[in-house]
């Protein structure tokens, strides 16, 4: 869909165009991001099309003509299986709940360019400018190796050892919300629902319990290694490898081993 009025992200413009297109396409199942854009769009679309909205969607499957959606409730502590009716339904997909690589195709699909059925002026909201957030610290989303500090580090004094480990691994330090709330690290280092969503090559979770609010922001990492004394800690549900040892004992040994390995190269 092409129009100068759609050149900038504007939910008001999108909400004016989409109902017509979705009706033209006879859409059965519409997927939006569970993002600020998707959330802004879902309400007006639902109203215009009479379609139910399922938010917090983390999975979809079909059996025959029936669709079943898995949705997160209560901040991720519960999941619900939902079945929309026979008509059109709108799902808001949680970022990080799918594999982006599976969304790519080697072949270019057929492309059809359309113009909107309706005029896009005047709009109740106008896009003025894009303001990039000021990054006064490292952008942890761009770091391939992250060492995450959780409450298990016990004291701010222990952050130094973790920071040194992160540096030795060629990465940087991030943290769970309780660590940031205590002021031990800046907010820019917070990973999780109320912080950053990261997908590094290595995520080393040290003393991280694995609350849903945190794992939502890191479970897409390529390799997750968790260290926690509690074998029942939910971080082990998302970790590829884990160790139930005292991280404060492990970190110095790990540092030594890494230095040895680097020295022998």
Partner 1 sequence: MIPREVVVVAEHLAGELSDVTLEMLACAHGLAFSVGWHVTCLILAGSSS
Residue 41: in which H helix or E strand, if any?
A: helix 36-49
Q: Which of 12, 19, 20, 37 binds partner 1 (CB under 8 A)?
A: 37
Q: Of the ranges 1-9, 153-161, 187-195, 249-257, which one interacts with partner 1 (CB under 8 A)?
A: 1-9
Q: Which of 51, 53, 54, 60 binds partner 1 (CB under 8 A)?
A: 60
Per-residue binding string, partner 1, 183-222, x by CB under 8 A, is: ----------------x-----------------------
Q: What is the DSSP letter of 130?
A: -
Q: Which of 47, 74, 83, 100 binds partner 1 (CB under 8 A)?
A: 100
* 102 binds partner 1 per the rule CB under 8 A: yes
Q: Of the ranges 98-106, 154-162, 233-241, 245-253, which one interacts with partner 1 (CB under 8 A)?
A: 98-106
* 124 binds partner 1 per the rule CB under 8 A: no
Are the CB atoms for 190 and 138 separated by under 8 Å? no
- In the complex with partner 1, the residue whose CB is nearer, 151 or 199, is 199
3-state class of 151 per DSSP? helix
Are the CB atoms for 147 and 173 separated by under 8 Å? yes
Please state, in angstroms and rounded to a whole number, the distance separating the CA atoms of residues 5 and 3: 5
Q: Are strands 241-243 and 78-82 parallel, antiparallel or unpaired?
A: unpaired
Size of the site for partner 1 (CB under 8 A): 54
Site for partner 1 in 125-164 (CB under 8 A): 130
Burial of 199 (0-12, 13-18, 19+ CB in 10 A): middle
Phi, psi of 92 (to 5 degrees): -100, 110
Site for partner 1 in 16-35 (CB under 8 A): 17-18, 21-22, 25-35
Residue 162's CB: how many other CB atoms inside 10 A? 21
Q: Are strands 53-63 and 89-93 parallel, antiparallel or unpaired?
A: parallel
* 53 binds partner 1 per the rule CB under 8 A: no
- In the complex with partner 1, the residue whose CB is nearer, 143 or 149, is 143
């Amino acid at each position: 869909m092409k129009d100068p009025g759609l050149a900038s992200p504007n939910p008001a413009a999108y909400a004016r165009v989409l109902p017509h297109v979705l009706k033209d396409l006879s859409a059965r199942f519409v997927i939006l991001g569970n993002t600020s854009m998707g959330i802004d769009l879902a309400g007006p679309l639902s109203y215009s099309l009479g379609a139910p909205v399922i938010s917090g969607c983390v999975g979809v499957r079909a059996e025959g003509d029936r669709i079943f959606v898995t949705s997160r409730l209560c901040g991720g502590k519960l999941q619900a299986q939902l079945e929309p009716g026979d008509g059109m339904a709108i799902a808001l997909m949680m970022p990080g709940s799918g594999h982006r690589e599976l969304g790519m195709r080697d072949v270019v699909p057929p492309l059809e360019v359309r113009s909107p059925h309706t005029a896009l002026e005047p709009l109740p909201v106008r896009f003025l400018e894009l303001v990039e957030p000021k990054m006064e610290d490292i952008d942890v989303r761009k770091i391939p190796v992250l060492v995450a500090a959780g409450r298990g580090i016990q004291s701010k004094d222990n952050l130094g050892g973790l920071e040194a480990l992160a540096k030795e691994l060629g990465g940087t330090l991030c943290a769970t919300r309780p660590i940031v709330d205590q002021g031990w690290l800046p907010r820019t280092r917070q990973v999780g629902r109320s912080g950053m969503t990261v997908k590094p090559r290595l995520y080393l979770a040290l003393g991280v319990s694995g609350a849903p609010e945190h794992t939502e922001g890191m479970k897409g990492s390529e390799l997750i290694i968790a260290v926690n004394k509690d074998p029942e800690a939910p971080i082990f549900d998302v970790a590829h490898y884990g160790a139930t040892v005292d991280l404060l004992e492990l970190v110095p040994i790990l540092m030594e081993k890494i230095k040895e390995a680097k020295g022998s190269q």
